[in-house]
Amino acid sequence: MNKIKYGLSAKKIISGIITFFCILHVFAKSNKSVTPDSEAAVKALAGVERKAQKPTEGVYYSLFVRSFADSNKDGIGDLKGIIQKLDYLNDGKDETTTDLGVTGIWLLPIFPSSSYHGYNVDDYYDVNPEYGTLADFELLAKECKKRGIALIIDMTCNHASSSNEWFIKSRNPDSPYRDWFRWVSDEDAAKGLVNLKQKVFGHNVWNVELENPGKTSDGKDNYYYYAGVFDPSMPDFNLDCRAVREEFKKIFKFWMDKGTTGFRFDAASHAYNAAELKIGEKGLEKAVGFWKEMNDYIKSVNPDSYCVCEVWENAATRARYIAGVPSNFQFDLGGQIASMINNQEMNEKQNLAEDADGSAYNGYARSLESLYQLYSSFNKDYINAPFLSNHDQARSAALFRNKADKMKLAADLYILTEGIPFVYYGEEIAMKSGADDPSKRTPMLWKPNGKDKNQTKWTDHPLYSSANRYNMRTESVAEQQKDSDSLLNHYKRVIRVKTAHPALFRGRLKAYSLGSPVIESYVMDCDEEKAFVIHNVSSMNTVDVKLPDDLNMPMVYAANPAAKIENGTLSIPPLSSVVLASRK
């Protein structure tokens, strides 16, 4: 009896071992790493080897934590929600194609704040409790690092919150924090040092403090006023104060120790706003000096760090700030690209002839080269930061009349330029907005409306609910993942080619005309590689152009698979791009 039982048990054990190894074999086979297929990636979505590795290389993704992903079903996006969605942004595996492929993330403000947007900071050393904890942030940074994702956070050095402890203490004229903010008095105004009636953005710059007025020499009340260029709830720092500068360095170090690889500096061109300066002060020079000091300190802590400034000004002014922080956002690029594409379509539909003699061709490429030369004159190590739209602008889909082919070309036109492109969350699925700020920051659409536990619901509040109407028909990530021809999958492709080729993420641009009024083309060159980028902005016609012998290189990207090279002639379909490249 025992022998029979023993025999049956042995058979079961042997059978179990065989089954285990069969399952293990199948599992190993199904999870075997697939070598990236750069040849297939030329005309279709396929894995490629990512070579952009540093925080100063690649493509960044800008996201509003409140709207991105909700992990605890309270309706508000949080840091744990981002962690759950990291594999969508970049899973760390070159061979896969389910992720977007970005190499960096910029988090809009994460600090405690009384506002939904977070740009008035109550405490620079903590996380908004609606978003999570410092431990959650450290975990996010750790998970980003595992995937090769750089992480930068929004930093507001221009102003704090009126609820910030430093500002509350500064209300006392005898406080050591008094000099941390810009305070003036009736007496200063009487001396002509300041104009208390100065207005910016439709409101007063100077806000009266009715408590504890001082006395003038003749015994009259001498009221005090603090500067708030953006809003009375956002008192402006006095950046001439050495204690303020040293405090910000402590703040930078604090967050870098927790895994941050850099910062996006908010309102950089307002650091010494002319509206709040005393007579004779030179704001721009002081601002550039301040940002250079901050950037130099950050680089001393981490030489590979990346910082970028918001300088929403004309190109000449932006270039001046490049001397302080080498990277600035290229504002108005989205409008420039939209005008070029839409005007070309209108001209073609109206059969308007191109009467240029050829000297006016390649205008987009030439404008980029001119801008970069301007930047270089102030800092040869500049890093351009192009984008289509951001959290302060109406979403870019409207610029391109919600047409997918235009949005795909627009993606190529900015991502395949110099520097670090920034993709605003939801732009890759053509999310839409109105002109008001809440509608520009509505919930990320992971699945069709009403079918996603991670979709945030903070805009269901009566104050913001009208913002929800803009994306009722927008196709979600889940829907676009299944469509090989979707805008989302196009973004995956162009981001992959950008991060796979050193000439594209490290190279300098030089315009190179192919003699066609509808072709925009330029060479991207670095020590390792040369690339030739060609865009057909025609909405109707395939264009054939003869390639110069020295630029007749292998095709590494064709947005439209119908693109081809035969006998040195490139045939490029309408509203599409091609990249040729060769290692040196």
- Indicate which residues carry an active-site annotation: 266, 310
Give the list of residues 6+ apart from residue 172 with CB closer than 8 angstroms, or none.
Answer: 178, 212
Q: In one letter, which amino acid is 177?
A: Y
Per-position b or e across 113-123, b if 16+ CB within 10 A of its CB: beebbbbbbbb
Q: What is the dihedral of CA 64, 70, 72, 78, to 10 degrees?
A: -20
| 114, two tokens | 């009384």
100 contacts 491 by C-beta, under 8 angstroms: yes
Looking at residue 401, the DSSP 8-state letter turns out to be: T
Residue 500's SS3 state is helix
Q: Where are the beta strands (DSSP E) in 431-536?
A: 508-511, 519-525, 529-536
Strand arrangement of the beta sheet that strand 519-525 belongs to: 508-511, 519-525, 529-536, 576-583, 555-558
| 573, two tokens | 């379909």
Residue 434's SS3 state is coil
Q: How far apart, in whole angstroms, are the C-alpha atoms of residue 360 and residue 125?
A: 53
| 333, two tokens | 């690029």
If residue 190 lies in a helix (H) or strand (E), which one and from where to where? helix 186-190
If residue 30 lies in a helix (H) or strand (E), which one and from where to where? helix 2-30
Burial class for 201, CB neighbours closer than 10 Å (0-12, 13-18, 19+): exposed
Q: How far apart, in whole angstroms, are the C-alpha atoms of residue 132 and residue 152?
A: 17
Residue 294's SS3 state is helix
Of 153, 149, 156, the C-alpha closest to 63 is 153
